Structure 1
Amino acid sequence: MFYTDGMMQYPVRVERPDPLFARALQQAIGGVEGEIRVAMQYFFQACGARGNPKFRDMLMNTAAEELSHIEMLATAVALNLEGAPLSLKEDIAADPVAGAVLGGMNLKNLLSAGLSAMPVDSDGVPFDMSHIYASGNIAADMTANIAAESTGRTLAVRLYEMTGDPGMKDMLSFLIARDTMHQNQWMAALEELGGMEGVFPIPNSFPQSAENQDFSYVFLGFQSDGSEPPPGRWSQGKSMDGKGEFTSRPMTPLGQEPVLAPAPPGSGAQSEQM
Structure 2
Amino acid sequence: MFRHQKELQFEVKVDRPDPMLARQIQEVLGGQFGEMTVMMQYLFQGFNCRGEEKYKDMLMDIGTEEIGHVEMLCSLISQLLDGASPEDQAEAAKDPTLAAIMGGINPQHLIVSGTGALPTNSVGTPWNSGYIVASGNLLADMRANLHAESQGRLQVTRLYHMTKDEGVRATFRKMIARDRYHQYQWMAAIEELEQKNGVVVPSSFPHEAEEESQVEAYRFWNLSEGTASAEGQWATGSAQDGSGDFEYVAEPTARGNIPYHKKPSDSLHHDLNNNKVKSSF
Shift of the 223–113 alpha-carbon distance from structure 1 to 2, 3 Å rule, reads: closer
Shift of the 252–165 alpha-carbon distance from structure 1 to 2, 3 Å rule, reads: same
Contact 1:82 1:115 in 2 (8 A): yes
- SS of equivalent residue, structure 1 residue 27: helix
Shift of the 40–221 alpha-carbon distance from structure 1 to 2, 3 Å rule, reads: same
What is the aligned partner in structure 1 of residue 163 from structure 2?
163
Write the deviation string for residues 109-162 of structure 1: whole angstroms up to 9, x where unpaired: 111011110101001111011111011100000000000000000001001111
Write the deviation string for residues 214-237 of structure 1: whole angstroms up to 9, x where unpaired: 101111111469x79532111112
Write the deviation string for residues 196-227 of structure 1: whole angstroms up to 9, x where unpaired: x84321010111101111101111111469x7
Looking at structure 1, the residues matched to 159 and 84 of structure 2 have their Cα atoms a distance apart, in angstroms, of 20
TM-score, structure 2 length as denominator? Answer: 0.91
Contact 1:8 1:68 in 2 (8 A): yes
Aligned residues: 271
What is the aligned partner in structure 2 of residue 219 from structure 1?
220
Contact 1:262 1:273 in 2 (8 A): no
Looking at structure 2, the residues matched to 10 and 112 of structure 1 have their Cα atoms a distance apart, in angstroms, of 28
Looking at structure 2, the residues matched to 19 and 54 of structure 1 have their Cα atoms a distance apart, in angstroms, of 42
What is the aligned partner in structure 2 of residue 207 from structure 1?
206
Looking at structure 2, the residues matched to 36 and 271 of structure 1 have their Cα atoms a distance apart, in angstroms, of 48
Shift, 1:188, TM fit: 0.5
Give ranges in structure 1 of 5+ residues lacking alignment.
none
Looking at structure 2, the residues matched to 5 and 228 of structure 1 have their Cα atoms a distance apart, in angstroms, of 55
Taking the TM superposition and a 5 Å limit, the aligned residue runs for 1:222-237 are 222-223=223-224, 230-237=230-237
> In terms of mean alpha carbon deviation, does 42-51 or 81-90 score higher?
81-90
Contact 1:220 1:229 in 2 (8 A): no
TM-score, structure 1 length as denominator? Answer: 0.93
Looking at structure 1, the residues matched to 215 and 190 of structure 2 have their Cα atoms a distance apart, in angstroms, of 27
Contact 1:146 1:187 in 2 (8 A): yes
Taking the TM superposition and a 5 Å limit, the aligned residue runs for 1:45-124 are 45-87=45-87, 88-94=89-95, 97=98, 99-102=100-103, 104-124=104-124
Shift of the 149–262 alpha-carbon distance from structure 1 to 2, 3 Å rule, reads: same
Letter in 1 for 2:207: Q
Matched, 1:145 2:157: no
Shift of the 224–15 alpha-carbon distance from structure 1 to 2, 3 Å rule, reads: closer
Q: Equivalent pairs: percent with the same residue?
A: 38
- SS of equivalent residue, structure 2 residue 258: coil
Contact 1:263 1:273 in 2 (8 A): no
Contact 2:230 2:248 in 1 (8 A): no
Give ranges in structure 2 of 5+ residues lacking alignment.
276-281
Letter in 1 for 2:262: A
Write the deviation string for residues 135-192 of structure 1: whole angstroms up to 9, x where unpaired: 1100000000000000000001001111101111110000000100111101101122
Name the structure with the higher helix share. 2
- SS of equivalent residue, structure 1 residue 260: coil
